[in-house]
Amino acid sequence: MDTIINRKNNKKKKLLLVIPIILLLCYFIFSGMIKKRTYNVKQSEITIKKVENDYFEDFILFQAKVTPLHSMLVNVIEGGAVQEIFVENGDMVTKGQPLVRLYNPNTELTYMQQETSIIEQINNLNKAKLDLRNQELNLAKDLIAIEHDYLDAENLYNLNQKLFEQEIIAKNEWKVTQENYRFQKERMSIIKQSVTKEKQANLIQIGQLNQSIGIMSQSLSILRKNKNNFLITAPLSGRLSSFEPILGKTFTQGNSIGTIDVMQGYKLVADVDEFYLDRVAIGQKGTIDFNGKTVEVQIGKVIPEVKNGRFIVEINFVKDENLELNQGLSFGVRINLSEKTKTTLLSKGSFYQDTVGKWIFVVNGNKAERRNIKLGRENPLYYEVIEGLKEDEKVITSTYKDYNEVQILNIEK
């Protein structure tokens, strides 16, 4: 009977062969993982800058335009179509000078109707005053007649009293005379009181009517003045700008039809990126270059409202210099945000867009190795280096777009 023999030696041999292969594969995998990725670049394709140790000046640069120090908008008070144009853009005008005449038939008709209505109301109020005056006149006439009757009764009373005492007239006739005299006396007293009260009431009514007439007359005056608003005049003297009316063009109420610039000094106005909103403040000083000389300027107003990523800054000239400026000229303004301080500086470049200032390639011979850094303040020319770089080290400041994931660059001539 045969016996089955296990081939243990063959299994051990296979195991001894597989283990080295597995170890070799693990070595290559681990080496690939720890090996730094490299990339070849030509020196002509990159920009290399040296790290400096120099004075850092925190400043910003932006463009500003020359505008008059004082100006006023010419607004349309009554909307309408342009009928006549009396001046041109850029002309010097004086206060009250006609600029343009507008026409609006619907508004004109409304003014005529309102004017007619107000005049009619004034006439009605004047008629009411006249009625009160006539009423007083009639009362005065009645009072004269009553006083006349009273005087007749009084004279008859005095005469009959003597005749009665002399027993010339009868007692009954005397009593009639007494009664008539009493009646006329009381009648006159009552009428006088009534006339007095009537005059007082009429005086109050006439005062109210006069007040109403005054208000109506004022309204009529304003209405007639508003009719003249179709003729737009210069609100002050100066140079007319942004004035471009066209015959037949319609302007609505409240629109601006132009600007009058008072030619008594200039200022600079700039649109600044919102990034600098928290860093720009009133009183900060700066400079501009004008005809080869440096002119000092100072921020006079900051309008913090952000539109389309920008806000407005007004800049004044520090000294009252006789600068021959023209409206619309543009200057590069340099505003100093802090005093000079000596520190490590790195030139600005496109690398920042790819690294956000967290790392950079440091050049050493014909290689450049990736290194973490920390940047601080910046101005249009330099970044302030806080950590990661030393003076005289060379770095690549051009774009990293093609080798953003690379650790080492081989620089070829």
Q: Do residues 79 and 114 both lie within one domain?
A: no
Q: Is 385 a residue whose pLDDT tops 90?
A: yes
Q: Do residues 88 and 131 both lie within one domain?
A: no
What whole-number distance in Å separates Cα of residue 210 and Cα of residue 227?
26
What whole-number distance in Å separates Cα of residue 335 and Cα of residue 332?
10
Closest CA to 269 of 226, 328, 341: 328
- The top-scoring range by mean pLDDT among 144-153, 191-200, 367-376 is 367-376
Q: Do residues 110 and 212 both lie within one domain?
A: yes
Domain count, the chain: 3
Q: Do residues 353 and 268 both lie within one domain?
A: no
What's 49's domain CATH number?
Answer: 2.40.420
| DSSP helix/strand/coil, 116 | helix
What whole-number distance in Å separates Cα of residue 269 and Cα of residue 317?
12
Whether 4 is covered by a domain: the verdict is no
**How high is the pLDDT of residue 393?**
92
Last residue of a domain, one of 313, 336, 359: 336
Q: Is 33 a residue whose pLDDT tops 80?
A: no
What tens digit of pLDDT does each residue of 91-128 get? 889 998 999 998 888 877 877 888 888 888 888 888 88
Q: Do residues 86 and 171 both lie within one domain?
A: no
Q: Do residues 93 and 126 both lie within one domain?
A: no
Q: Is 39 a residue whose pLDDT tops 90?
A: no
Whether 7 is covered by a domain: the verdict is no
Whether 262 is covered by a domain: the verdict is yes
Q: Do residues 286 and 327 both lie within one domain?
A: yes
CB of 314 closer than 8 Å to CB of 267: yes
What tens digit of pLDDT does each residue of 126-155 get? 888 888 888 878 888 888 888 888 888 888
In order, the DSSP letters of 229-290 are: GGEEE-SSSEEEES----TT-EE-TT-EEEEEEEEEEEEEEEEEEGGGTTT--TT-EEEEEE
Section 253-281 average pLDDT? 85
Token look-up 């006349």 returns 148
What tens digit of pLDDT does each residue of 344-353 get? 999 988 899 8
CB of 357 closer than 8 Å to CB of 388: no
Last residue of a domain, one of 201, 228, 255: 228
User: How many other C-beta atoms can be found within 10 angstroms of the C-beta atom of residue 145?
Assistant: 10
Q: Is 302 a residue whose pLDDT tops 80?
A: yes
Dihedral sign of CA atoms 269, 270, 274, 275 in order? negative
Band (192; pLDDT cuts 50, 70, 90): confident
Mean residue pLDDT of the chain comes to 83
CB of 189 closer than 8 Å to CB of 196: no
Q: Is 32 a residue whose pLDDT tops 50?
A: no
- Strands of the sheet containing 80-85, edge to edge, are 231-233, 98-103, 80-85, 250-251
Closest CA to 77 of 54, 99, 49, 44: 99
**How high is the pLDDT of residue 345?**
92
Whether 270 is covered by a domain: the verdict is yes
pTM (whole model) above 0.75? no
**How high is the pLDDT of residue 312?**
92
What's 80's domain CATH number?
Answer: 2.40.30.170
Q: For residue 42, what are the domain limits?
A: 38-56+341-412
**How high is the pLDDT of residue 289?**
87
Band (30; pLDDT cuts 50, 70, 90): very low
Whether 3 is covered by a domain: the verdict is no
Q: Do residues 144 and 220 both lie within one domain?
A: yes
